[in-house]
Amino acid sequence: MKDQIQQVKAALEEARSGLNNLIANEEALERVAQAANLMIASLKNGGKVMSCGNGGSLCDAMHFAEELSGRFRQDRPAIAAMSLADPSHMSCVANDFGYEYVFSRFLEAVGKEGDVLLAITTSGTSKNVVKAAQAAKARGVRVVALTGKSGTPICELADVAIVTPAGRFADRVQELHIKLIHIMIELIEAGLAESTESKEKENA
């Protein structure tokens, strides 16, 4: 039991050090604001935000989209967001074309010029996420990448790459990603509320 408590403490210390590094990383913080601004501009123009990732990052992609289309902290109008995560689509495309096409094919079906894709990959190299970013670029969809490694294929493709290194393991990177996802939602809600308020003032 003592050893386990030590293990819990060490894991929390490691997570804290990842968070401290992120707080000190001005470039990454700036990119978070840039990413939110890209999404706000798209949403104001009638666009939508799509998201994708593998494993835990797919859960993060879904978490992000549902808090925009559903609810985050308080009631407000629904925001146009969807994860590219329909299991029937994924099983069909994986079965008939290959797993690397599961997100790109969905994006080809629903992505429109002016939309934004949030592409989440801790390694920065997952083929299906990279292919989704390529499909996005080909049709004028802007790409925000959330990753743990710089200089990776997803960074090369992204309009805004948010890089959050956090040691050897994907789970620590994901823990930072989910924080940034919540923060981006806060920024998006604030940005959209601001524009609604100024429209209401104009019309008053």
Ligand X SMILES: O=C(CO)[C@@H](O)[C@H](O)[C@H](O)[C@H](O)COP(=O)(O)O
Residue 178 beta carbon to ligand X: minimum distance, rounded to whole angstroms: 11
* CA–CA separation, 33 and 1 (whole Å): 43
Query: Per CB under 6 A, does 150 bind ligand X?
Result: no
By CB under 6 A, which span of 18-26, 91-99, 156-164, 170-178 interacts with ligand X?
170-178
Q: Is 182 annotated as a binding residue?
A: yes
Site string for ligand X, 29-68 (x = CB under 6 A): -------------------------xxxx-----------
Q: In one letter, which amino acid is 170?
A: A
Residues 6+ apart with CB under 8 A from 161: 31, 144, 145, 147, 150, 154, 155
Q: Helix (H, G, I), strand (E, B), or coil: what is residue 162?
A: strand
Place of tokens 């799509």: 50
By CB under 6 A, which span of 64-72, 73-81, 92-100, 116-124 interacts with ligand X?
116-124
Q: Is 177 annotated as a binding residue?
A: no
Asked if 121 contacts 129 with a C-beta cutoff of 8 angstroms, the reply is: yes
* CA–CA separation, 27 and 31 (whole Å): 6
Asked if 181 contacts 146 with a C-beta cutoff of 8 angstroms, the reply is: yes
Looking at the Cβ atoms of 42 and 54, the one nearer to ligand X is: 54
Looking at the Cβ atoms of 79 and 170, the one nearer to ligand X is: 170
Q: Is 200 exposed, middle or buried (0-12, 13-18, 19+ CB in 10 A)?
A: exposed
Query: Per CB under 6 A, does 170 bind ligand X?
Result: yes
Q: Is 37 annotated as a binding residue?
A: no
Query: Per CB under 6 A, does 86 bind ligand X?
Result: no
Query: Per CB under 6 A, does 126 bind ligand X?
Result: yes
Please count the CA atoms within 13 angstroms of the CA of 168 that sit on its side-chain side.
Answer: 1
Residue 87 beta carbon to ligand X: minimum distance, rounded to whole angstroms: 16
Query: Per CB under 6 A, does 174 bind ligand X?
Result: yes
Structure tokens at 89: 């689509």
Residue of 122, 157, 181, 188 that binds ligand X (CB under 6 A) = 122
Residues of the shown chain interacting with ligand X in the complex, contacts defined by CB under 6 A: 54-57, 121-123, 126, 129, 170-171, 174
